[in-house]
């Protein structure tokens, strides 16, 4: 059954957040919407689902085959949830109930779950079968916190589709997943399409869009600016905005800071690590690892989730004790000349304090001219009024840039960046990395970048240390495209 959305408009206080004249979902077809954050793509999905916040006004019609109803009639759509329409939420780790075993959670979506004891048992059996079919054999009665991001995503997929919904809407399904988990997710979603389902995917991950194929729509500022078959749009973009989006992929970057940091191989290393070993819960992450970080060098730590990248970084920064081996810091690194950037910058700032107050403490403590904050804010094109807000009240990209400013106030020699852009969309990622790398080369600092994005590692760093489980430690220069 075809679903059509006609003249969708979502307004907030008179401003149009979504303005889409037509969107068609056909059975057996994948539709993907890409765009930067704030372009309204998530709102479009929630308008279709009928789960928009109450403060937004929605206009337009929805057509299910022959019957047509108003998009604002949320109650009618709510009845279709589960068995006709399903939503795979963002960040399944947060969407799953932490206090429920996963098979119970999945079973709740089954149509017979509320039909007495027998129905409940049937539902549970079906849920276990479904989880086993997704490769989750032995975990069906565990709790969500024991799962990896990719596994949690599959559980959420099972829960969303057990009701037999033909139309599946997924909102940023690949957020926080490493490439392996993302590929298996793409296969899963493609299977749904092959079985005759309709799929609407909202993402800013162009690799996922490529893997899904089908129809691709590009959204910018509430409007769809380009649409067509995915291969065509992604290889020969017609609209300038799409071109810009594609140019923001790391392997397309033309960086101005490339080669700026002269890596002096003979210089004394800033951080020297010998024979590092660390195990986590009985499983060795790495052992006998030697590593040197010289001034001005750019090193990438790559590997799938859970391979110990962050732990190794923590050891290098002397925040975590290794099981064996030692880390020697050059005396130059005393007094805060090693700084760290976090994946989620909101957790790195005091939550209830305006950002300005936090930065003032830094400038006072290190006798930095407070004017430098304003100068850097200006250089990084950030509105000074952002500083009066609290960390949770500004966007991730902006806060990450403020975190870069905060780190730069101490003139660091080593910057350890732990997935600094993995939660950001491509354009914001490019902007943030640009800002980071400009600062790094200006300060002539060494950079250690933790990432699971090989493309990003290749674009930014000169050396790549891969912590793959299959091949524990391999040192190889990163490919430069």
Q: Which residues bind other proteins (CB under 8 A)?
A: 12, 15, 37-38, 46, 51-56, 220-221, 223, 225, 239-241, 243-244, 247, 317, 319, 335-336, 338-340, 342, 347-353, 357-358, 361-362, 365-366, 381-383, 386, 392-395, 397-398, 406-407, 410, 431
Nearest to 58 by CA among 21, 96, 16: 16
Minimum CB distance to other proteins smaller for 41 or for 154: 41
Is 68 or 364 the residue whose CB approaches other proteins more closely?
A: 364
Residue 242 or 441 with smaller CB distance to other proteins: 242
Residues 123 and 148 sit within 8 Å (Cβ to Cβ): no
Contacts made by residues 246-250, CB under 8 angstroms, sequence distance 24+:
246/206, 248/426, 248/427, 248/429, 248/430, 249/206, 249/426, 249/455, 250/429, 250/430, 250/433, 250/453, 250/455, 250/456, 250/458, 250/459, 250/460
Q: How far is the CB of 53 from other proteins (least distance, A)?
A: 4
Q: What gap in Å lies between CA 466 and CA 452, rounded to an integer?
A: 10
Q: Which residue's CB is nearer to other proteins, number 127 or number 312?
A: 312
CB of 317 to other proteins, least distance (A): 7
Question: Closest distance between other proteins and the C-beta of residue 187, in Å?
Answer: 29
Cα separation, 79 vs 1, whole angstroms: 17
User: CB of 45: closest distance to other proteins in angstroms?
Assistant: 12
Task: Give the nearer residue to other proteins in terms of CB position, either 214 or 397.
Answer: 397
Report which of 77, 267, 265, 86 is spatially closest to residue 164, judged by C-alpha positions.
Answer: 86
Residue number, 7 or 383, with CB nearest to other proteins:
383
Shortest Cβ 259–other proteins spacing (Å):
21
Question: Rounded to the nearest whole angstrom, what is the least distance from the CB of residue 391 to other proteins in the complex?
Answer: 9
> In terms of CB distance, is 90 or 469 closer to other proteins?
90
Q: Select from 106, 174, 111, 169 the least CA-distant residue to 140.
A: 106
CB of residue 338 to other proteins, shortest distance in Å: 7
| Cβ distance to other proteins smaller for residue 330 or 340 | 340
Specify the residue, 289 or 338, whose C-beta has the smaller distance to other proteins. Answer: 338
For other proteins, the closer of residues 276 and 414 by Cβ is 414
The CB-of-312 to other proteins minimum distance in angstroms stands at 16
Which residue number, 55 or 138, has a Cβ lying nearer to other proteins? 55
Q: Which is nearer to other proteins, 124 or 399 (CB)?
A: 399
Please, what is the minimum distance in Å from the beta carbon of residue 335 to other proteins?
Answer: 6
Least distance to other proteins, CB of residue 257, Å: 16
Among candidate residues 392, 387, 399, 386, the one with its CA nearest the CA of residue 357: 387
Find, among 450, 456, 442, the residue nearest to 412 by Cα.
Answer: 442
Q: Which is nearer to other proteins, 252 or 264 (CB)?
A: 252
Residue 66 Cβ vs other proteins, minimum distance, rounded to whole Å: 31
Q: Least separation, in Å, of the C-beta of 77 and other proteins?
A: 15
Kindly state the smallest distance separating residue 125's Cβ from other proteins, in Å.
32
């Amino acid at each position: 059954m075809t679903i059509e959305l006609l003249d969708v408009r979502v307004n907030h206080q008179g401003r149009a957040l979504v303005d889409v004249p037509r969107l068609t979902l056909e059975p057996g077809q994948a539709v993907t919407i890409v765009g930067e954050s704030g372009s309204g793509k998530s709102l479009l999905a929630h308008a279709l689902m009928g789960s928009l916040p109450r403060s937004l006004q929605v206009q337009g019609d929805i057509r299910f085959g022959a019957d047509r109803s108003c998009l604002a009639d949320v109650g009618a759509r709510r009845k279709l949830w589960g068995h006709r329409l399903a939503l795979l939420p963002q960040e399944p780790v947060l969407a799953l109930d932490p206090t429920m075993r996963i098979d119970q959670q999945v079973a709740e979506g089954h149509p017979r779950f509320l039909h007495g004891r027998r129905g409940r048992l049937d539902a549970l059996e079906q849920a276990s079968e479904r989880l086993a079919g997704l490769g989750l054999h032995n975990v069906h009665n565990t709790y969500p916190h024991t799962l990896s991001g990719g596994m949690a995503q599959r559980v959420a997929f099972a829960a969303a589709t057990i009701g037999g919904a033909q139309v599946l809407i997924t909102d940023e399904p690949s957020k926080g997943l490493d490439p392996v988990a993302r590929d298996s997710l793409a296969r899963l979603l493609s299977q749904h399409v092959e079985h005759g389902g309709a799929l609407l995917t909202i993402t800013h991950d162009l690799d996922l869009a490529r893997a899904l194929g089908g129809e691709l729509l590009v959204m910018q500022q509430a409007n769809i600016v380009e649409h067509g078959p995915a291969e065509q749009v992604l290889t020969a973009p017609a609209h300038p905005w799409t071109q810009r989006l594609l140019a923001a992929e790391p392997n397309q970057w033309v960086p101005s800071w490339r080669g700026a940091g002269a890596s002096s191989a003979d210089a004394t290393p800033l951080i020297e690590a010998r024979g590092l070993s660390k195990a986590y819960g009985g499983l060795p992450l790495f052992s006998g690892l030697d590593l040197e970080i010289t001034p001005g060098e750019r090193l990438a730590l790559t590997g799938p989730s859970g391979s110990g990248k962050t732990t190794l970084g923590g050891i290098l920064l002397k925040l975590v004790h290794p099981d064996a081996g030692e880390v020697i810091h050059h005396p130059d690194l005393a007094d805060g000349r090693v700084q760290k950037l976090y994946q989620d910058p909101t957790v790195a700032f005091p939550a209830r304090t305006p950002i300005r107050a936090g930065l003032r403490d830094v400038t006072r403590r290190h006798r930095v001219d407070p004017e430098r904050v304003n100068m850097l804010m200006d250089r990084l094109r950030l509105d000074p009024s952002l500083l009066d807000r609290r960390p949770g009240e500004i966007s991730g990209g902006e806060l990450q840039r403020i975190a870069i400013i905060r780190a730069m106030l101490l003139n660091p020699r080593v910057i350890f960046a732990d997935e600094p852009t993995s939660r950001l969309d491509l354009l914001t990622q490019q902007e943030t990395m640009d800002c980071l790398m400009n600062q790094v080369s200006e300060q002539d600092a060494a950079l250690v970048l933790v990432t699971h994005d090989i493309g990003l590692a290749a674009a930014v760093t000169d050396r790549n240390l891969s912590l793959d489980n299959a091949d524990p430690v391999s040192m190889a220069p990163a490919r430069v495209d």
